[in-house]
Amino acid sequence: MKLAATDFGGDGPSFLLLHGLGGSRATWETLAPQLHGRALAVDLRGHGESPDAPWEWEAVLDEIEATAVHFGLENPVVVGQSLGGVLAGLWALRHPDCPAAVSLDGHRSATTRPENYEGLAPEAVADGLARLNALFDAQLEMITRPSREILSFLRTSPELLDALPIFARVTVPFLLVLATENMPVPPDLLPLMDAHRAGLRRDLPANVIVQEIEATHGLVSTHPDQVAAIVNHFVSNRFNA
């Protein structure tokens, strides 16, 4: 399968940019030109202008790798947002010689396992998850791409439910940019969001470098200048070490 891609050009290190669930390579249009290197953004399978197919993690990684090779990217830094951040971790496992990988608020689904919420009573977690899942179900009804099949698979995929076990196995320099502001949810779901973030901070692997940013999950679109500066600083330290 050939993926749609945009080569933003530039000189220096290569950057491979992976969008989040329901997004496309257009997500990076403001941020990519600010990176200190050559940036390539792709549409993942089932997204944007790329073909449809059932989601298979290894096949998706194969397609991303073939796209990078096609465009002549040699050992790129992989930067992903949300779902793309999980893929960045999987890429780093597959490529232990990767110079660096960055996850932009890609870590755990907001509707993960109950034990991943910290500081909230179990019954409150159960009630909050039921209401949040109902909210997401209603939102997904309005999404036409990716397919319902991909959405259903990813919502229950262990990799997306909790990517921290993946990150813990990464040996390359790995940066997680953690958004500290809640996504738009009804006020009565804010305690669940706070418990989610508290559990995430509790469980972050020691090998992951964490930088927090005052932004929501959509930080690539809302704070492109700040995110680009964070990525540039992290990558320049790796290449100049």
Residue 100 dihedral angles phi and psi, to the nearest 5°:
-175, 160
Write down the pLDDT at residue 241.
57
Check whether 176 has a pLDDT greater than 60.
yes
Average pLDDT rounded to a whole number, residues 185-212: 96
pLDDT in tens, 113-128: 999 999 999 999 999 9
Q: Between the CA of residue 154 and those of 45, 108, 196, 202, what are the distances in Å?
A: 13, 12, 19, 24
Q: Kindly state the greatest CA–CA separation across the chain.
A: 53
Write down the pLDDT at residue 183.
85
| Lowest-confidence region among 13-22, 67-76, 131-140, 166-175 | 131-140
Write down the pLDDT at residue 1.
82
Which helix (H) or strand (E) element contains residue 149? helix 148-155
Check whether 48 has a pLDDT greater than 60.
yes
For the chain, percent of residues with pLDDT exceeding 70: 100
Place of tokens 């997306």: 160
Question: What domains appear along the chain, each with residue ranges and CATH number?
Answer: 5-240 (3.40.50.1820)
* Contact between residue 51 and residue 45 where contact means Cβ atoms under 8 Å apart: yes
Highest mean pLDDT among 12-16, 136-140, 235-239: 12-16
Residue 75 dihedral angles phi and psi, to the nearest 5°:
50, 65
Check whether 136 has a pLDDT greater than 90.
no
